[in-house]
Amino acid sequence: MIRSTTAARPISRGLANVISARAGYGLAIRKANVKPQFHSLAAKRPQAALPQFRPVLIPQLRFATKTGVPKHDKIDIEAEKRLAREKLESDPEAVTSDSSVRQVFESSQAPVEEDNEVLRGVKQDLHTIKDSFALRDVPRESYYLGAAGTLPYMATSLATLYLSYGINHAPKTGSGLFFPLETAQHYLSIIEPVQIGYGAVILSFLGAIHWGLEYAGYGGHQGMRRFAIGCAMPAIAWPTMLMPLEQALITQFLAFTGLYFVDSRQGVHGFAPPWYPTYRFVLTFIVGVSIIASLVGRGQLQGEDTGKPTRADKMRQLSDMQPEAQKEEEEVKRKRKAEEAAAEEKAAEEAKKNESKKGDSEKKGGGKIGDKVEQVKEEVKDKVKEKK
């Protein structure tokens, strides 16, 4: 009996705990007014529980209709009387007849409102662009050397634009802009290959950077992928030296743009420094603008597909016609000189003939006078004899 009672005690305690838990659960359900709806589960479709909306307006109305609430706009009668007894002091410097009149073109005195969402968004975009071009995270050495590396590209592009403009407008002015036509053409023939060669060097250098990152193991080793990028750039860049000028510039533009996308992906995946994609974007932007400027300058000198000659073609025709025109001018000058010499010879001969004629006439006239003088002398002698 002792053993049975001792073994039954824990069982009875467990049952008592279960009964008390059920009683507490039932009491909680009754307090919460939860009604089980087991009878309607089979007859209704499953529905999502709707959100419970709390009444907000009714408590506010109740609060507004309560009595005993102090009024917020209570008038202080004594203060009003005190102000009414005071006299207004005149201040002619601050108050005039026009001070209280609102002018037609007067600006509003209302406080200036803050920028709307559109202007705020534009300002944020401008700040973002400014921060991206500031390149604060880029090391100073890379920043200065990269910026200096773009200067030759910009210089050659500006020179191409300048010389092309001068050659293109030479038919109007008769000469180039600050340079003779032949000098401008000579400089342009030197500058364009220099720009293409410099672009090939820069592309090779940008490809070699991936070799350096692979040797350093930046972000891990990729193996042949990085080495292939470094080898592809010289293979694309250096054949442009043998292409026509326009095709070479377009090929280099595509190479710079494609390499920028490759570098940006390398930076996103952690195989390049985080500042490197932004750095490459700025430099690629400058180089791309320079290449476009060179293409625009070259486009001014090229003929159209319609077969109509451009100004540059006319200028070339004029330059080709210059030697022939010079020869014609020299021949005309020679003819003029020959004609002038012949005219001078004729004039000299006529002058000589006139002089000879004058000499003969003078000689003839001189003989007649001498005869007359002798006759007069003889007559005088005869008269003297007669008088004697």
pLDDT digits (tens, 9 = 90+) for 308-366: 555 556 556 666 666 777 778 888 888 888 888 888 888 888 877 777 766 666 555 55
Indicate the average pLDDT of the chain. 74
| Residue with the larger pLDDT of the pair 215 and 119 | 215
Domain that holds residue 296: 138-302
pLDDT of residue 30: 54
What are the tens digits of pLDDT across the range 56-86?
545 544 544 455 555 556 788 888 888 888 8
- Global pTM? 0.49
Q: Is residue 256 part of a domain?
A: yes
C-beta separation of 254 from 246 below 8 A: no
SS (H, E, C) 162-202: HHHHHHHCHHHHCCCCCCCHHHHHHHHHHHHHHHHHHHHHH
- Spatial neighbors of 210 by CB under 8 A, at least 6 apart, are 226, 227, 229, 230, 266
Percentage of the chain modeled with pLDDT above 90: 24
User: What is the percent of the chain where pLDDT is above 70?
Assistant: 60
The verdict on residue 226 lying in a domain is yes
| Highest-pLDDT range among 79-93, 139-153, 370-384 | 139-153
CA distance 146 to 195: 17
**Once rounded to an integer, what is the mean pLDDT over residues 49-61?**
50
Would you state the pLDDT for residue 7? 46
pLDDT over 90 (residue 46): no
**What per-residue confidence (pLDDT) applies to 197?**
94
**Residue 255 pLDDT grade (very low, low, confident, very high; cuts 50, 70, 90):** very high
Instruction: Please indicate, yes or no, if residue 78 is contained in any of the structural domains.
Output: no
pLDDT at 346: 81
Specify if 179 maps to a domain.
Answer: yes
Q: Which is more confidently placed, 115 or 92? A: 92
Pick the closest to residue 160 from 135, 192, 132, 136 (CA basis). 192
More confident residue, 321 or 270: 270
Q: What was the pLDDT predicted at 3? A: 45
Q: How many CB atoms lie within 10 A of CB 175?
A: 13
Evaluate whether residue 201 is within a structural domain.
yes
Distance of alpha carbon 372 from alpha carbon 341, whole angstroms: 47
pLDDT in tens, 288-305: 999 999 998 888 775 443
336 belongs to a structural domain: no
Tell which wins on pLDDT, 10 or 111: 111
pLDDT digits (tens, 9 = 90+) for 6-32: 444 445 555 455 455 555 555 554 554
**Contact between residue 298 and residue 245 where contact means Cβ atoms under 8 Å apart:** yes
Name the token pair of 267: 């930076």
Q: Can you tell me the distance from the alpha carbon of 215 to that of 211, in angstroms, rounded to the nearest whole number?
A: 6
What integer pLDDT is reported at residue 181 of this predicted model?
76
pLDDT of residue 307: 47
Per-residue confidence (pLDDT) for residue 151, from 0 to 100: 93
Residue 49's Cβ-side half-sphere holds a number of Cα atoms within 13 Å equal to 3
What does the chain come to in residues?
388
Residue 135: count of CB within 10 angstroms of its CB:
19
Higher pLDDT residue, 48 or 257?
Answer: 257
Of 151 and 308, the one with more pLDDT = 151
- Residue 116: pLDDT band (50, 70, 90) is low
Quote the CA–CA distance of 323 and 45 in Å, as a whole number: 102
Stated as kind and residue range, the H or E segment containing 237 is helix 224-237
Split into its structural domains, the chain has a count of: 1
What is the model's pLDDT at position 6? 47
Question: Is residue 159 domain-resident?
Answer: yes
Query: Once rounded to an integer, what is the mean pLDDT over residues 110-120?
Result: 64
Distances from the Cα of 6 to the Cαs of 1, 11, 12, 19, in angstroms?
Answer: 9, 10, 10, 21
Query: What confidence score (pLDDT) does residue 38 get?
Result: 45
The answer to whether residue 121 is domain-embedded is: no
The pLDDT of residue 93:
73
